[in-house]
Amino acid sequence: MNYNLFKMRFLILIITITLVVSCKKKVNTPVQSSGTKLERCILVLNEGLFQQNNAHLSMIDLDSLEINNLFFEEKTGRPLGDTGNDMQVYDGKIFIVVNVSSTLEILDEKTGASIKQISMVENGIPKQPRYITFNANKAYISCYDGYVDVLDLTLLTLTNRIKVGANPEQLAIANNKLYVANSGGLNFPNVDSTVSVVSLSSELEINKIVVGKNPGPIVVDNQNDVYVISRGNYGSIPSRMHRISSASDSKIQSFPFDASGFCKMKSDLLISYVDGAMNKILKFDAQNETVVSVNFVDVSSISTFYGMQYSTWNDKLYFFDANGYVNAGYVLEYDSNGSYVRKFNVGLIPNKVVVYE
């Protein structure tokens, strides 16, 4: 009997060792970033997927063309979080808005080192920040709970909450006023249709301008006109671009073409729209309010168009290909004439870049 028991124990030991050894994980070594000072590189914010904690910051080395998708983790020793929604540079700092994690990450623009992580959770309840914009010594962060949070850039602390409309999205500043697109997206199909006007001196909403259903993207041109896109209901109500006078705070023009998103390039606006099943880029002269070209850039090679950005740093255009939303995406670089330069395979759902060139 003892011998049998011994055999049994030996068997268990062998099985356990086999399983433990088979549990040994593979190690995938990421590309290491070189040096501490950021130069000749592009930082890409990869949004990641909802509830997957896989927002990442990619660093593309423009000399070696090596891509490090774990740049943030290596610089800070922790993950970025869930759903990186916006990234902007201001006052020597990089600001990353992480939507589902409800954090604002502040990095040193020169090195990428973490300066501060600000939790956007109040009394245990996440505010779900979306976008950020800046004016003087303040940053303004739209939060999906219907507020814009004010960040003091000297103290790096939140100082105020400004009540706006439902589920605010992008923000823009003109004539010392903050314009906030209130989408009301979570009340679908009864979405919002307004842009809130906030006085920067009083930090109070002073007006609401009705534009069209489901406003989201918003920019200001060189004449201080505010352009906003109402995205409709993705069905029977089409998306439209509207122009708001920041002098009178009224909608003065709606344009009769589809518009999914836009970015400002010098004095022009580049507007993305869907023509049939194709994404196209329209060039719009914002000074004269005229269409320059209905197909300024050929983006037909992009499988899942996910936005664009113009970089004043190097006068280049960047288009984002989400590649089906479930595969590593691409950043495509074009010159300002709309000619393709190159593309980079980065992380999941790229949506913003910061260029060092």
Judged by the rule CB under 8 A, the positions of this chain that interact with other proteins are 1, 4-5, 8, 11-12, 15, 19-20, 22-23, 25-26, 28, 30, 49, 51-54, 56, 69-70, 73, 77-79, 81-82, 98, 100-103, 117, 119, 121, 124-126, 128, 144-146, 166-167, 184, 186-187, 234-235, 260, 274, 304, 306, 322-328, 347-349
Q: Which residue has the tokens 């409309």?
A: 165
Give the separation between CA 150 and CA 127, rounded to whole angstroms: 13
Nearest CA-CA partner of 58 in 76, 75, 71: 71
Residue 304, both tokens: 């899942």
Instruction: In angstroms, give the least distance from the CB of 120 to other proteins.
Output: 9
Using the minimum distance from each CB to other proteins, give the nearer residue, 238 or 338: 238
Give the separation between CA 119 and CA 143, rounded to whole angstroms: 12
Using the minimum distance from each CB to other proteins, give the nearer residue, 117 or 199: 117
* Lateral strand order in the sheet of 93-98: 84-90, 93-98, 103-108, 114-119
Using the minimum distance from each CB to other proteins, give the nearer residue, 98 or 106: 98
Instruction: In angstroms, give the least distance from the CB of 164 to other proteins.
Output: 13
Whats the size of the chain, residue-wise? 357
Instruction: In angstroms, give the least distance from the CB of 187 to other proteins.
Output: 5
Using the minimum distance from each CB to other proteins, give the nearer residue, 282 or 286: 282
Using the minimum distance from each CB to other proteins, give the nearer residue, 186 or 292: 186
Instruction: In angstroms, give the least distance from the CB of 292 to other proteins.
Output: 25
Instruction: In angstroms, give the least distance from the CB of 112 to other proteins.
Output: 17
Separation in Å, CA 183 to CA 98, 177, 279: 19, 19, 23
Using the minimum distance from each CB to other proteins, give the nearer residue, 147 or 310: 147
Instruction: In angstroms, give the least distance from the CB of 174 to other proteins.
Output: 27
Using the minimum distance from each CB to other proteins, give the nearer residue, 138 or 352: 352
Instruction: In angstroms, give the least distance from the CB of 74 to other proteins.
Output: 10
Using the minimum distance from each CB to other proteins, give the nearer residue, 46 or 246: 46
Using the minimum distance from each CB to other proteins, give the nearer residue, 163 or 266: 163
Instruction: In angstroms, give the least distance from the CB of 168 to other proteins.
Output: 11
Instruction: In angstroms, give the least distance from the CB of 250 to other proteins.
Output: 25
Give the separation between CA 262 and CA 272, rounded to whole angstroms: 6
Residue type, 177: K
